[in-house]
Amino acid sequence: MVKTIQTKVPLQEVNTLGRYFKKKFKEKVYKVPISISGFTCPNIDGTVAKGGCSFCENDSFSPNLQDKKSKFKLSPKTTENPFLENQLKQLELQFNATKNRLEKKFGAKKFIVYFQSFTNTYAPFETLKALYEKALSFDNVLGLSIGTRTDCVTDEILDYLKALSLHKEIWVEYGVQSFYDETLHQINRGDTASNMRKWIAKTKEKGLLVCAHLIYGLPNETQKMMLHTLDETLKLNVDSIKFHPLYVVKNTLLTNEYKKGKFTPITEELYIDTVVKSIQKLPSHINVQRITAGINDNTLLSPLWCRNKHQQINKIRKALREVGLEY
Ligand code: SF4
């Protein structure tokens, strides 16, 4: 009898942000999320829309948010920012607190300051420069990651970031969510697919690093649409992708839709299958920054599988291994 010897095919590593940093800087790099009070978004303050994106209750995006009740809100039209000194102090305090925790827990040595909450280019240029330069002045900070919208960048801001990028690692993180205008309209996004294409292309032309944030499970979107949004994003030559399931948290416009039975959240099976198919499509030079998200408190209404992020990551890892990929 002839014995068949089963040889295991080695798994191929997914290019994660961690692996990208390790390769580039020869050591682990940690992102430090920052939330500066006074920042808002043109989709919240009425400039392009009111109420924000239908899923947005910003606390769920910003664990470091400290000053929820602050009345003072910035916009690019603000002529004077009397709170700049406070904002710079807040930046330093938040950075040091997280940095110290990461140093103790993981022995972290190098950091990227991540301006995470709201729209972090939506302020007077002088305020942005002061905050970014302060962040870059901290010890062991290699660069910045700036979360924003494509209708909130200008040539002036991109040229400035391009100059910074000659010596530092500068990422611009754009919320894309979907490339379907009907979906963007439905979620009250206040931006369009053509505007996103224009500004992502410009950001890339300047030589900046771009991360695109995609949401799977948006109202009325099929898997084919979600994967098409990914294809459109990849055509723009972005450097990194974040995947996020759409979940309903209390005090959002989406809550009403959900309670009226007009919105059904994506199932865990469909989400995992879509993320796996997405990662299989990614060219090897594009890294993955996030494969899911979860929220483990009573603000989450649905779907309840989003409560346990670690469980989701394990399930996605397992599903990826089945197609020969190691996350
Ligand atoms: S762009 Fe971001 S901060 Fe603004 S409403 Fe949408 S999710 Fe909220």
Specify the CATH number for 12-326; select among 3.40.50.920, 3.30.70.1400, 3.30.750.200, 3.40.640.10.
3.30.750.200
Residue 2 tokens, joined: 């002839």
Asked if omega into 76 is within 30° of 0 (cis), the reply is: no
Helix axes 155-165, 193-205, angle to 10 degrees: 40
**Ligand 1 atom nearest to CA at 118:** 3
130 pLDDT tier (thresholds 50, 70, 90)? very high
Q: Does 65 score more than 60 pLDDT?
A: no
Tell how far the Cα of 264 is from the centroid of ligand 1, in angstroms: 21
Task: Tell me how far the alpha carbon of residue 315 is from its chain's centroid.
Answer: 21
Residue whose CA is closest, atom 6 of ligand 1? 53
Q: Which atom of ligand 1 is nearest to the CA of 44?
A: 5
Residue 163 CA: distances (Å) to CA of 129, 172, 293: 12, 14, 33
The CA 27 to ligand 1 mean position distance, Å, reads: 33
The span from the CA of 146 to the CA of 119, in Å, is: 9
Domain spans of the chain? 12-326
What one-character-per-residue DSSP string does 257-288 give?
Answer: HHHTT---PPPHHHHHHHHHHHHHHS-TTSEE
Concatenated DSSP letters for 307-326? G-HHHHHHHHHHHHHHTTEE
Is the backbone peptide bond immediately before 10 cis, with ω within 30 degrees of 0? no
Residues pairing with 248 in the sheet: 302
Indicate whether 141 pLDDT > 60.
yes
Is residue 282 over pLDDT 50?
yes
Distance of CA 311 to the CA centre of its chain: 20
Find the 323 Cα to ligand 1 centroid distance in Å: 35
- Written as one letter, the residue type at 298 is N
pLDDT of 62 reads: 45
Give the pLDDT score at 6: 62
Distance from C-alpha of 248 to C-alpha of 243, rounded to nearest angstrom: 16
Q: Which residues lie with the beta carbon below 6 Å from any ligand 1 atom? A: 41, 43-44, 52-53, 56, 58, 118-119, 149, 175
Give per-residue pLDDT as tens, 193-238.
999 999 999 999 999 999 999 999 999 999 999 999 999 999 999 9
The total number of residues written for the chain in this structure:
327
Of 124, 45, 34, 135, the closest CA to residue 82 belongs to 124
The model carries a pTM of 0.94
Q: What's the CA-to-centroid distance between 87 and ligand 1, angstroms?
A: 20
